[in-house]
């Protein structure tokens, strides 16, 4: 079984994340969307809300599982028996950052990282931009899936 972990904070899930997961479904038998817990970070949305957003987005997709985790992603991969980490790339800066992590993960384990380029129509979207738009009362409806839009109204 080809199983991938798609890790992130998803604060909140964006249309870019959604697109990567939807496209990843065609490549893997199961995708675990893994929401990392970092006590040092301040989030806009509580962990339970972020998890509900993602679960709602993929409620009709049996190949997608959502969970939370702490620690190294490779340890979660071993626990979940996943041999792949799925990551999206928006730009060259993402590539350089993700490449370093992928090399480190390969040195520490035999887990491969699979990169998907974001779709052109979502390549500019990041969770930090979405949070800023929401914080300032802007129209974020084209940036996030329906589950996030409905919850914000």
Cis peptide before 12 (omega within 30 of 0): yes
User: Is residue 109 marked as binding?
Assistant: no
* Structure-block tokens of residue 134: 């929401």
Largest Cα separation within the chain, whole Å, is 45
Active site residue 109: no
User: Is residue 125 marked as binding?
Assistant: yes
| 53 touches 12 (CB < 8 A) | yes
Element (H or E) spanning 36, and its range?
A: strand 30-36
User: Is residue 16 marked as binding?
Assistant: no
User: Is residue 71 marked as binding?
Assistant: no
CA atoms within 13 A on the CB side of 13: 30
Catalytic residue among 65, 90, 99, 149: 90
User: Is residue 2 marked as binding?
Assistant: no
Task: Give the phi and the psi of residue 135 in degrees, each rounded to 5.
Answer: -55, -35
Active site residue 3: no
Catalytic residue among 41, 42, 81, 153: 41
User: Measured between alpha carbons, how far is 101 from 95 in angstroms, rounded to an integer?
Assistant: 10
User: Is residue 83 marked as binding?
Assistant: no
User: Is residue 90 marked as binding?
Assistant: yes
User: Is residue 98 marked as binding?
Assistant: yes
Where is the binding site, in residues? 9-10, 17, 41, 73, 87-90, 98, 122-128
Which residues are the active-site residues? 17, 41, 90, 127
Annotated binding site for ATP: 9-10, 17, 88-90, 98, 122-128
Binding residues for substrate: 9, 41, 73, 87
């Amino acid at each position: 079984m080809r199983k991938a972990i798609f890790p992130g904070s998803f604060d909140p899930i964006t249309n870019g994340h959604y697109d990567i997961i939807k496209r990843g479904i065609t490549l893997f038998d199961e995708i675990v969307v893994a929401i990392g817990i970092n006590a040092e970070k301040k989030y806009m949305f509580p962990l339970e809300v972020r998890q509900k957003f993602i679960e709602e987005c993929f409620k009709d997709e049996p190949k997608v599982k959502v969970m939370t985790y702490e620690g190294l992603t490779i340890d979660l991969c071993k626990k979940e028996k996943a041999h792949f980490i799925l990551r999206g790339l928006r730009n060259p800066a993402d590539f350089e950052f993700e490449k370093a992590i992928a090399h480190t993960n390969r040195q520490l384990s035999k887990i491969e990282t699979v990169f998907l380029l974001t779709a052109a129509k979502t390549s500019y979207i990041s969770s930090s931009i979405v949070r800023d738009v929401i914080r300032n009362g802007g129209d974020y409806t084209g940036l996030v899936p329906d589950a996030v839009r409905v919850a914000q109204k």
